[in-house]
A and B are shown apart, each in its own frame.
Chain A
Amino acid sequence: MSAQISTRVYWNVFFALLACTALTVGQSQLFHALGHGTNIAIGLVIASFKASIVTLFFMHLRHEKSYFYGVALFPLVLVLVILFSNFPDVAFGDHTTPGEVLKAASH
């Protein structure tokens, strides 16, 4: 619980979040040579790191009992299942926009 945590920890997390935000903006504006896919991957890794430290420190997850981790992680697993279940259709499907899908469905 929060009573045992020094406010210095919160300030360190705060500065880390601001630094990561600057890093996200910097890499998206400056490192075009890396390629769009790589930039997206780096941006998502930074965002995941930021979300993790907010969850662990600001939301005190690291001081909770272990089953809280299950509650926090289970929906994330479901999200990944939802996203990956669409990949075959996205990768191998013929339709690229909702409009085309609707047009194809009407024929």
Chain B
Amino acid sequence: MSEAHAMTAHGADDRIEAFERARLGMWLFLASEVMFFAGFIGAYVVLRMANPHLAVAGQKELNWVLAALNTAVLICSSLTMVLGVNAISKGDRAKCRNMVLLTALLGSAFLVVKFFEYSGKFAHGIYPNTSTFFSCYFLMTGFHGLHVLGGIIALLLLLLGIKHYGPERYTKVENVGLYWHFVDIVWIFLFPIVYLL
């Protein structure tokens, strides 16, 4: 192997290692996020176990159809996100841009539905201090909504710098994708325990 060839191979190894370290950092951040939501969800679970009737009256006030629609929206956004990451890893920047944009739009649609859901609650005089159940409901779904908003901002920043990414350099796209899927996973648990069960 020539010296120039060896140096190129060495550079590629460094890049792969840097990519792996960046993903590891993102996974560690997501681990801390798991603990963040665990506090809220854990409190809700313990409160419900202590008082099985805690959610019965509250859940009747919730619109599970809207929540199911939002679940489908977030699942669609996870698909578009992973297709975007897949596209950039294969060098298809235009498809990646479209998929990231679609993900941001679906995330925005989720927040719009959430806005109407909250508006309906406020119109009926339901606030976080209405009951223990609604305190948990607004806390969990509110912080989840803020995470969705954070994800949309990250997606828009990706779009602004999309010309800098390609098959050799897409760490940020992959990491924003990891964050977006995590937000989806949190909702996967919130939907049944808050709205349905």
B189:A51 contact, CB within 8 angstroms: yes
Count of A-B contacts with CB under 8 A?
Answer: 131
The answer to the question of B93 belonging to the interface, with a C-beta cut-off of 8 Å to chain A, is no
If A18-B75, A86-B46 touch, does A75 touch B83 (CB 8 Å cutoff)?
Answer: no
If A5-B86, A96-B51 touch, does A90 touch B46 (CB 8 Å cutoff)?
Answer: yes
Complex alpha-carbon distance, A7 and B85, angstroms: 11
A59:B132 contact, CB within 8 angstroms: no
**Which partner residue on chain A sits nearest B196 by CB separation?**
A28
A71:B196 contact, CB within 8 angstroms: no
8 Å CB interface, A1-29 against B: 1-3, 5, 7, 10-11, 13-14, 17-18, 21, 24-25, 28-29
If A25-B68, A40-B197, A97-B51 touch, does A71 touch B45 (CB 8 Å cutoff)?
Answer: no
B196:A24 contact, CB within 8 angstroms: yes
B178:A79 contact, CB within 8 angstroms: no
A54:B184 contact, CB within 8 angstroms: yes
- Bitwise, B42-61 to A at CB < 8 A (1) or not (0) is 10011101111000000000
If A25-B68, A68-B27, A98-B47 touch, does A75 touch B184 (CB 8 Å cutoff)?
Answer: no
Complex alpha-carbon distance, A1 and B197, angstroms: 37
A2:B34 contact, CB within 8 angstroms: no
B89:A58 contact, CB within 8 angstroms: no
Complex alpha-carbon distance, A24 and B34, angstroms: 22
Interface SS of chain B: helix
B196:A25 contact, CB within 8 angstroms: yes
8 Å CB interface, A46-96 against B: 46-47, 50-51, 54-55, 57-59, 64-65, 68, 71-72, 74-76, 78-79, 82-83, 86-87, 90-91, 93, 95-96
B83:A83 contact, CB within 8 angstroms: no
**Which partner residue on chain A sits nearest B84 by CB separation?**
A2
Complex alpha-carbon distance, A54 and B30, angstroms: 14
Report chain B residues within 8 Å CB of A50: 185, 188
How many interface residues does B have (CB within 8 Å)?
Answer: 50
8 Å CB interface, B31-81 against A: 31-32, 34-35, 38, 42, 45-47, 49-52, 64, 68, 71-72, 75-76, 78-79, 81
B196:A51 contact, CB within 8 angstroms: no
Complex alpha-carbon distance, A10 and B78, angstroms: 10
Looking at the complex, which one of B50, B85, B188, B191 makes contact with A96 (CB distance below 8 Å)?
B50
B64:A25 contact, CB within 8 angstroms: yes
A104 to chain B, nearest CB (A): 13
What 9 pairs between A and B have smallest CB-CB spacing? A28-B196, A75-B34, A43-B192, A3-B89, A79-B38, A14-B79, A75-B31, A58-B82, A90-B49
4 further contact pairs, Cβ within 8 A, besides A11-B79, A50-B185, A83-B46: A21-B68, A58-B181, A75-B32, A90-B50
